[in-house]
Chain A
């Protein structure tokens, strides 16, 4: 068996039962691994109407075949569940080195069922699996939890854990590994908290074998060369990190400001990657098997915000920066450190805070509600204070912890929540960049950029150069990116590998590793299969075409007010019918029998 271990581990936290089952290799061939295999296992077993925070919900953690090999930037794992924020499929992806360790321990997937009666953590050391008491860890933040769990298991164990945000079921709580890497979105951390599962510690010593080693090495070297010679993958990301995007998006007038009230932020440079590199960056950091090193080890010296950790990424710098009208990078770096340490998604947090700020400025949230905190846009102290309060669910933070949709809805103004499927949209204004708006609207896990990152071709000129303001061909490109990303996610690869590698590289590596032949077409087809499987689950969960919509502010009510994209709105409604058609779905966005048969889904 090459690239796979052949074994799936199942842990039932209600009964304490630990069991193993064989990996279905037909499924492995069709769904590859990681996101694909975890989706297949989860969707086969779980009722789409399940309450995400109930013991009946399941979590599936899975590395991909690449995970633990030297496939470039190929060390990732995926966790699939139903998201409490969105009430639909939630899949979060993380780097670091936890995923490879699970693969080395001998598992293609880890299924967590039920709920423990009191806090526990899981200790997996190859074939030996224990459920251990964790009451003494409950309440502890992520760094301390990681150290303590290693102290009780193995000094070199890899630890994935939740902090207070997950324990308290903040609906956008994250699962953190190696302290600073996140399976961030959708509330996967809240699901783990609802199961009383504090951490999963892993130590693995088994081998991952390769079907055709010489061919695999050559394919890997070709991939590495592609990345090294690419300006983004080779040097740009290492020098500046993703935060360099702040100025790029601002210069095209598509940097959302003040809860998407505008698209241009004059002070943007103060929170951009150039400023981060000069002021807070200590050194770059790379995940397991990564050749890019986009990670930022960061430190703030200002005593008010002093601390060290990693990040911020572009999305986090945006959400706690310009989206809240804030231009203080020290404060943003500090709040990002807090989000990591408490285990919380900074994108959903920042955007929810921006919504709260708009509600405050409209007089709907009062000083009484905020315990005297002035929640106006631009208030740096308020942003930092609310970061902590949201992670700990204190004061108004208790309401912010439910996400902007439930927050705005509770004040009678759901239209002020900048979400799709109740998940906060990230840092690209869909009024100025049309294709990414279609990705936001159609992404199976809710408002998300990363599963169909058309910014690469609409703004960054990588591969193709599309006009961000145009709608022509965008449905084609969104589908292509969504399918390719799903296949890469399923392989265990980081999508930044696409800055230098294409479908040909990926399919060549996967074929040589597993011994299963994938053409580039097969590879994309696997991605399309995964996308459709997730869509079927969402339909079962009750989602309809109405959930593939952006807020009316963006499609109708509020053209961008200032800057280079002044006057623009999003044309997602015009692009959606063509997207459904290309996907082989009917006018309501339901996959047709023909397409499902073609994809071997029926």
Chain B
């Protein structure tokens, strides 16, 4: 699974992209795993309790998870997950 980070999320993870090999059948488990790896600042940015932080946008293979199953969206091993803060218009 490929995880891509954008805008100031990159500062919280120290990288633009990483390959995730741990099991993550859904988005919640993936985010919890990433938070355990990257620390509480990252965790607070992407999660609000056990929900998705309302200022975060996540795409799975280019689809906003809001139009899939939200934080319960299923994930496969070859998926690309992109994590953005709400940042801009133009």
Query: Which residues from chain A sit less than 8 Å from chain B, CB to CB?
Result: 231-232, 236-237, 239-245, 247-248, 251-253, 269, 272-274, 294, 313-315, 453, 455-456, 459-462, 465, 467-468, 496, 499, 563-565
Determine if B86 and A244 form an interchain contact, defined as CB atoms under 8 angstroms apart. no
For the complex, give the distance between the alpha carbons of A269 and B62 in Å.
Answer: 15
Q: Are B62 and A465 in contact (CB under 8 A)?
A: no
| Least Cβ–Cβ distance between B27 and chain A, in angstroms | 15
Q: How many A-B residue pairs have CB under 8 A?
A: 97
Residue B42, interface by CB 8 Å: no
Closest Cβ neighbor of A278 among chain B residues: B10
In the A-B complex, list the 6 residue pairs whose CB atoms are closest, starting with the nearest: A564-B62, A242-B90, A236-B87, A314-B90, A251-B82, A231-B86
B residues sitting closer than 8 Å to A (CB atoms) are 4, 6-8, 10, 16, 55, 57, 59, 61-64, 66-67, 80, 82, 84-90
Do B87 and A252 touch across chains, with their CB atoms under 8 A apart?
Answer: no
Question: By the criterion CB–CB under 8 Å, are B59 and A239 in contact?
Answer: no
How many angstroms from the CA of A244 to the CA of B90 in the assembled complex?
Answer: 9
- A236-B87, A465-B67 are contacts. A460–B57 as well, Cβ < 8 Å? yes
Chain B residues with CB under 8 Å of A237's CB are 87-89
- CB neighbours (8 Å) of A231 from chain B are 55, 85-87
**CA–CA, A496 and B85, complex, Å:** 17
Q: A245 — which chain B residues lie within 8 A by C-beta?
A: 88-90
A236-B62 in contact (CB<8A): no
| B88 and A242 contacting across the interface, CB-CB below 8 Å | yes
In the complex, chain B residues whose CB is within 8 Å of the CB of A253: 62
Known: A231-B86, A564-B63. 13 other contacts (CB 8 A): A231-B55, A231-B85, A231-B87, A232-B87, A236-B7, A236-B88, A239-B8, A240-B87, A244-B7, A252-B62, A460-B86, A460-B89, A468-B64
Contacts of B55 in A (CB 8 A): 231
Given the known inter-chain contacts A244-B7, A251-B4, A465-B67, please indicate yes or no for A232 contacting B86, CB distance below 8 A.
yes
Q: Are A461 and B86 in contact (CB under 8 A)?
A: yes
A-B contact pairs, 24 of them (CB 8 A): A231-B87, A232-B86, A236-B87, A237-B88, A240-B88, A243-B90, A247-B6, A248-B88, A251-B4, A251-B62, A251-B82, A251-B84, A252-B62, A253-B62, A273-B87, A314-B90, A315-B90, A453-B89, A459-B64, A460-B86, A460-B89, A467-B64, A468-B64, A564-B62
